[in-house]
DNA sequence: GCATTTAATGATCGTTCGATGAACAAGATC
DNA sequence: GATCTTGTTCATCGAACGATCATTAAATGC
């Protein structure tokens, strides 16, 4: 199970797969982080460096050539995993009043779901949250400020002035959607085959309760 | 740094409250489980028995007099914590058609919330879920069968025959409510001071989206 | 082909883990 | 107050942990 690219020199295939492979440092470092993401997502941040090394097919000591401490490796895993979860396009999408709010929310949560309904992300986010990492709070605060609050404003614009939605209402909708991923990847329960359909239903119910047409 | 053992009042020969105390086995066992619940909820199931012993003010070896292995202790923690979370009264409440469905759901989730919006429970449930414990699945399946499905039936009874709610709709509502506790106890974020108010809003929105009057 | 550089290994350090068993002492009974 | 029971401590085990460092061998330049 060698996942990485073979190096240019192909010498008549006499090389054993268990050979000691010499990778460019940058490539090796990336490989370690890749594997560490999957590894820590499975077993938790208390996963042992020896087992990680076994998955990598290298010795445990090699890991410490690329990361001074285990904590440094974990930080690299955080950095890797927290990228790719937030798109800079979302604020523009949310504020695009040429489209109905239901459509905007549907597209947003379709994209959002495709990024966070991910085994590794879900579990590492939960592990780090339980460990008290500051990253989770920063992430959620950022989410609230740059996405939920703008959505709230747009929903208010679209709603007849009867009863106004609150930010907590949006957190509730958000929680209901995220809970789909929690059921699947944390509790490992079966979930509906088409999450987007459930998400659209949740959005439609939300908007309908404020007399707004859904997606 | 260790504040457990030292004595403040120096009455030589007098009864020292922090002395090595000899407890009835039943009492000691209960005390260990009590402390272990709080301890594991804080640091996770990988918490070390020596640190737990320090909190108890006893030696580490004493723990193994009452529990053959650490895993046995964890099972005892599970058993302790999973009790008290489900009331036998709920099915009768949910099926009581002399009251409007909104009121029944409000009362149910008020009681449910008072039981699960708990620091120790929330975290241990999440830790054990991440560890792949079978208990979580059993708990959630039980919840679905004995509570969510009956609620679904009652909501359908109360709804005009326009659009029928699904079980997934109820999971979505449930997730939105539970997410309040997750934000508070897992991510340690500030949450609204009156959770019941938010819960009632969520229920009202849910029912309203099916043209039913809320609580 | 030989010297140089440097990934990667292998052996090992000091520490800490869960767990064990002998020794000790608190409390009841007589 | 001597005796007995047993809750608790003390000392320690082997395994496993993160981390270190001298050694080995694959790539590179001359």
Is pLDDT above 60 for B13?
no
In chain A, where are the structural domains located? Answer: 25-81, 85-208
Which chain A residue lies closest to B208 (C-alpha atoms)? A209
Distances (CA, A) of A19 to A25, A27, B122, B126: 17, 17, 47, 41
Residues 6+ apart with CB under 8 A from B149: B167
Judge whether B175 and A176 are in contact, CB under 8 Å.
yes
Task: Tell me which residue has tokens 């934000």.
Answer: B183
- DSSP three-state, residue B215: coil
**Nucleotide nearest A73, from its CA to each C1':** D18
What does the pLDDT read at residue A213?
A: 85
For domain A25-81, give the CATH number. Answer: 1.10.10.60
Percent of chain A residues topping a pLDDT of 90 = 85
Rounded Cα distance between B48 and A52, Å, is 22
Inter-chain contacts counted by CB atoms under 8 A, chains A and B: 122
Measure, in angstroms, how far nucleotide D24 C1' is from residue A22 CA.
13
**Nucleotide nearest A71, from its CA to each C1':** D18
Residues 6+ apart with CB under 8 A from A53: A59, A60, A62, A63
Rounded Cα distance between A159 and A84, Å, is 32
What does the pLDDT read at residue A160?
A: 84
> Is A86 exposed, middle or buried (CB count within 10 Å of its CB: 0-12, 13-18, 19+)?
middle
Is pLDDT above 70 for B3?
no
Whether B187 sits inside 8 A of A136 (CB atoms) is yes
Which chain B residue lies closest to A135 (C-alpha atoms)? B187
B18 touches strand D (CB under 7 A): no
The overall average pLDDT reported for chain B is: 90
Cβ atoms < 10 Å from Cβ of A133:
20
What does the pLDDT read at residue B93?
A: 98
How sure is the predictor about A214, in pLDDT bands with cuts at 50, 70 and 90?
A: confident
Segment among A15-29, B103-117, B118-132 with least mean pLDDT: A15-29
How many angstroms away from the CA of A140 is the closest CA of chain B? 9
Average pLDDT, stretch A28-40? 97
> Is A88 exposed, middle or buried (CB count within 10 Å of its CB: 0-12, 13-18, 19+)?
exposed
Rounded Cα distance between B46 and B32, Å, is 16
pLDDT tens by residue, B81-117: 998 899 999 999 999 999 999 999 999 999 999 999 9
Measured torsion, CA atoms of residues A170, A173, A175, A178, in degrees rounded to the nearest 10:
-120
């Amino acid at each position: 199970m060698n996942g990485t690219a073979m190096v240019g020199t192909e010498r008549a295939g006499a090389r054993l797969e268990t050979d000691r492979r010499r990778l460019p440092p940058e490539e090796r470092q990336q490989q370690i982080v890749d594997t560490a993401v999957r590894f820590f997502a499975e077993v938790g941040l208390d996963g042992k460096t020896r087992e990680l090394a076994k998955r990598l097919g290298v010795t445990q000591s090699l890991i410490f050539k690329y990361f001074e401490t285990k904590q440094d490796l974990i930080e690299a895993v955080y950095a890797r995993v927290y990228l790719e979860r937030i798109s800079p396009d979302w604020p523009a999408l949310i504020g695009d009043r040429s489209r109905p709010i239901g459509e905007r929310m549907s597209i947003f949560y379709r994209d959002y779901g495709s990024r966070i309904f991910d085994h590794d992300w879900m579990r590492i986010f939960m592990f780090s949250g339980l460990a008290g990492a500051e990253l989770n709070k920063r992430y959620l605060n950022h989410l609230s400020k740059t996405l939920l609050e703008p959505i709230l404003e747009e929903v208010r614009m679209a709603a007849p002035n009867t009863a106004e939605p609150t930010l907590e209402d949006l957190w509730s909708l958000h929680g209901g959607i995220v809970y789909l991923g929690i059921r699947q990847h944390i509790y490992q329960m079966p979930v509906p085959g088409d999450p987007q359909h459930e998400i659209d239903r949740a959005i439609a119910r939300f908007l309908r309760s404020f007399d707004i047409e859904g997606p």
